[in-house]
């Protein structure tokens, strides 16, 4: 059972701030939550950090790990290829019943991307999508990665937002399967956001994006 601070978010989701937690038990908890939920189960948003870990999507190709490291690689059941999680990155797991929302997975991805774009715009940074490569980019460098799984109409996994982290582990992979893709974070862009500030701001942006009928 995942613990953590809980709060009702505009009547739609329970938000849990979990701190820094190991990847594998958190992934299993997402699977368990999704398997147990009923039509009346409230959605949840889990905000957290992970110790250093690479995660490889279900269709992931091992050749996208291009250099040997001591960082573990965990094969998982989301879409996409390989990415890196580590301290200084805010991870938001989005446990949403899409059947209640009235839109599908592609729309959810768009809304999650927009939440990050809006957050950065409020900080004076222009971010954008990149055709064919889900996520959020600043000047062509990825600042947020997305990967989701849908089971019985309900989502898990989510997005990872780079705030103030050691970016060197990204050099050992083709991020999300794209050779040579640049990766950045808020600190590299000159933003003074702390991880706690980013987590709080991202939580509100996600609530707005997911649950508003027509988010801007």
Catalytic residues: 176
How far is the C-alpha of 86 from the C-alpha of 154, rounded, in Å?
26
Pairing of strands 73-75, 53-56: parallel
């Amino acid at each position: 059972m995942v613990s953590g601070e809980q709060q009702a978010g505009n009547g739609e989701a329970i938000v849990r701030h979990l701190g820094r937690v190991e990847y594998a038990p958190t992934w299993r908890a997402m699977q368990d939550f999704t398997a147990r939920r009923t039509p009346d189960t409230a959605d949840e948003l889990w905000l957290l950090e992970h110790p250093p870990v690479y995660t490889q999507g279900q269709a992931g190709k091992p050749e996208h790990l291009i250099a040997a490291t001591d960082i573990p690689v965990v094969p998982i059941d989301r879409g996409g290829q390989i990415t890196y999680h580590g301290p200084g990155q805010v991870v938001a797991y989005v446990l949403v019943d899409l059947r209640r929302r009235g839109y599908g997975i592609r729309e959810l991805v768009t809304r999650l991307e927009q939440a990050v774009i809006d957050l950065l715009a409020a900080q004076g940074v222009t971010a954008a999508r990149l055709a064919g490569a889900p996520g959020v980019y600043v000047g062509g460098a990825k600042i947020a990665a997305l990967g989701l799984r849908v089971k019985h109409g309900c989502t898990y996994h989510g997005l990872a937002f780079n705030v103030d982290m050691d970016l060197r582990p990204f050099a050992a992979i083709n991020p999300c399967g794209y050779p040579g893709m640049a990766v950045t974070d808020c600190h590299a862009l000159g933003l003074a956001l702390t991880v706690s500030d980013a987590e709080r701001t991202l939580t509100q942006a996600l609530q707005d994006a997911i649950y508003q009928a027509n988010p801007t």
